[in-house]
Structure 1
């Protein structure tokens, strides 16, 4: 898991530091922000103290209307729990009292450079934290986005994963990661595939060397991340090992508790592997829309047999 600090939030969202500049190395461990509403009126039974606390126009207006003594009590009750930081989205006017409390308790007080709609800011912040704090593993393979479908290509070293990715890029699809693919678990159903920064935009081809796909083919050849929806294993050719069943039984590979549909493609000279991956991706998409080619084919056969029986 990547380490996230308050300073990372300051840099990511261009926040202004009003207090606690020497406390920006505080770690953030929770992937959701919190708006303290009930806490300001004294209810703390479910107060998520380890979350980033967001103060919007509603909260700041409420605090402004309190008497000096009452405000001191309300804010004091919250800062007593030492959350990682406060972020104000309603501008910095009139925050002297809040700044004083944060300085006293050594809590960073941050403010957006321009007033923002609080719910919109929380959405952006949560999305960032969920990605950055997600459990992750690194696997050997290639990650591509084929017609909007994220595919993880696996196989033994030298089997042709990168060469296949290069063909897909030439056909208008996008590289996400080559060699090392970082998988992040965003939810019990979602695995995100991305690169490890060092290999960003690079594709390594044997006999050719290292390529920068963006320099060669333009921005459309690369994207930073994609949801993994299908895994394809490239395997060596085995005689009599191919199946001609109308509809292949779905197999799955488990990554951090998330099951990804998996299929094998055997390699042999002259076989259009990139074309087969395109077909697999498009066929998977059609199945998600409720269409199954094998079922339609069988229904035609059954209809023909039924008509023959009537004649």
Structure 2
């Protein structure tokens, strides 16, 4: 199970530490946050104690309206479960009582500094936690973004993955990762491709060496991450191994339980592999919109046969 610390949140979101400075090493293992509204009124049946607890304007206003003794009981019931931390998004005015509880129980109490709503902050924090805590694997290959579509290029060492990626970059597409691609499972349907930081912006070409695509081609040549929509396996040319079917049977590659549409493209001198990848990406997009070239072609054939039969 992946984990991050409360200190990671403090640094990422520039949070102010109001209590628990010596407890910032506490681990966070859950990828969603929680607003303890029902818990403040005594309902704990479904209290996710391992989640980061967010206190927005509604929660803070409610606490301010309680009597001193009632506040002590309500807050005490929650801190008793020792959540990783509390983050207040509504300002620190009048929260000395909450600070006291967090100091007593050794729970970090944090405060947002930016002028944003609680919902906006939760959206950003949830997205960050989902990515950081996602199940991940590293695969050998290249990840590119072609016309907004994330593609994982695989194949044996030396087959031409990086060279193909370079051609795509020259055509205006973007590199995400070369050599080592980190795949993160964000949901049962979503795989995110990214780099491992060390190889960020770098592309290795045989006979040329290491290139920094941003320095060579500008910021438009690179992006940090991309949702993987297609898995393409580049292989050496084999005579009579490919068939000109009207509609290729859909294949899938399984990554951490997520099935990604996959295909094979064979390499041969003079073959426009980058162009074929562009065509595959655009064709995948059209299929997502409900269009199939093979189906339209067959409908035309059927229509022509019907017209010929009626003459």
Per the TM superposition, whether the score is higher than 0.5 is: yes
Matched, 1:190 2:190: yes
Match of 1:232 in 2: 232
Shift of 1:116: 3.0
Distance (Å, rounded) in 2 between the aligned partners of 1:96 and 1:303: 78
Shift of 1:45: 1.0
Distance (Å, rounded) in 2 between the aligned partners of 1:147 and 1:114: 34
Q: Deviations over 1:147-191 (max 9, x none)?
A: 011000000000000000000000000000000000000000000
Match of 2:120 in 1: 120
Shift of 1:236: 0.7
**TM alignment of 1:34-113, pairs within 5 A:** 34-113=34-113
Aligned to 2:125, the other structure's residue is in SS state helix
Distance (Å, rounded) in 1 between the aligned partners of 2:85 and 2:115: 18
Distance (Å, rounded) in 1 between the aligned partners of 2:264 and 2:45: 52
Matched, 1:172 2:172: yes
User: Is contact 2:146–2:281 with CA below 8 Å preserved after alignment?
Assistant: yes
Shift of 1:15: 0.3
Distance (Å, rounded) in 1 between the aligned partners of 2:215 and 2:137: 29
Distance (Å, rounded) in 2 between the aligned partners of 1:293 and 1:151: 21
Aligned to 2:240, the other structure's residue is in SS state coil
User: Is contact 1:90–1:116 with CA below 8 Å preserved after alignment?
Assistant: no
Match of 1:146 in 2: 146
User: Is contact 1:91–1:114 with CA below 8 Å preserved after alignment?
Assistant: no
Distance (Å, rounded) in 1 between the aligned partners of 2:167 and 2:40: 59
Shift of 1:113: 1.2
User: Is contact 1:141–1:153 with CA below 8 Å preserved after alignment?
Assistant: yes
Aligned residue pairs, count: 311
Distance (Å, rounded) in 2 between the aligned partners of 1:53 and 1:138: 32
Aligned to 1:58, the other structure's residue is in SS state helix
Match of 2:131 in 1: 131
Shift of 1:2: 4.4
Aligned to 1:91, the other structure's residue is in SS state coil
Shift of 1:3: 3.1
User: Is contact 2:2–2:29 with CA below 8 Å preserved after alignment?
Assistant: no
Distance (Å, rounded) in 2 between the aligned partners of 1:115 and 1:107: 24
Distance (Å, rounded) in 1 between the aligned partners of 2:164 and 2:3: 34
RMSD between aligned alpha carbons?
Answer: 0.8
Distance (Å, rounded) in 2 between the aligned partners of 1:308 and 1:52: 69
Match of 1:248 in 2: 248
Aligned to 2:28, the other structure's residue is in SS state coil
Match of 2:308 in 1: 308
Unaligned segments of structure 1, at least 5 residues: none
Distance (Å, rounded) in 2 between the aligned partners of 1:137 and 1:165: 21
Match of 2:293 in 1: 293
Q: Deviations over 1:134-157 (max 9, x none)?
A: 000000000000001100000000
Deviation >2 Å, runs of 4+: none
Distance (Å, rounded) in 2 between the aligned partners of 1:145 and 1:202: 15
Aligned to 1:265, the other structure's residue is in SS state strand
Distance (Å, rounded) in 2 between the aligned partners of 1:90 and 1:115: 9
Distance (Å, rounded) in 2 between the aligned partners of 1:291 and 1:99: 58
Aligned to 1:143, the other structure's residue is in SS state strand
Distance (Å, rounded) in 1 between the aligned partners of 2:281 and 2:165: 14
Give the TM-score of the pair, scaled to structure 1.
0.99
